[in-house]
Amino acid sequence: MNNFYGYVRVSTLDQNVERQLVELNKWGVLEKNIYCDKLSGKDFNRPQYQKLKRKLREGDVLVVKSIDRLGRNYEDIQVEWREIVKIKKADIVIIDMPILDTRTNKDLIGTLISDIVLQLLSYVAQSERESIKQRQAEGIAIAKAQGRHLGRFPSPLPENFYPVYEKWIRREYSLRTASNALGITISQFRTMIKKHKSNGNEDLT
């Protein structure tokens, strides 16, 4: 039986975890088969992604929201795609770009079109990220020149902790889904719950 797997990646450029999880759930990816990495700064170590790749077998399907989930630049995306599709012989579904669904483009023409589109979109994804980084750098330079505070002030809990915590309390989210939505591990989520309760907060109803 072929398995469906999902991969979620969040970084300083894209923190929207829940949207990615919702899309994967629509594709019928089981919660236990969703892997999530949280990246920061220049750190691109992806332990969960590497764990996911080790699980992939011939005929399995990897579902991701967008093509840039596979890598941080044009070369990375190309390498990962070829390893999964050509070497492991698994399939890839890019939710935002149905033409890159390798299950439906097995013929020569379909494969050729997919390869061309893949190269184009990989390049576009890299260009967009570089553009965002450039705008961020320019914004930081302006802020420094004006003497403004840079970055968010320290916060004890993630910004989306309370809505996720509320869904967990109501049993709409399991521990794994909640921790994935926050981009943290289950043990870190448990620690946050204890911290929340130690501050005298009651469970949400």
13-37 residue pLDDT tens: 556 678 888 899 999 999 899 999 8
> Is 56:108 a contact under the CB 8 Å cutoff?
no
> Is 16:36 a contact under the CB 8 Å cutoff?
no
Q: What is the pTM of this model?
A: 0.58
Q: How confident is the model at residue 3 (pLDDT cuts 50, 70, 90)?
A: very high
Q: Which residues are catalytic?
A: 11
List pLDDT tens digits, range 102-154: 888 665 544 555 666 666 666 666 666 666 667 666 666 666 676 664 554 44
The answer to whether the Cα torsion of 89, 78, 49, 107 is positive or negative is negative
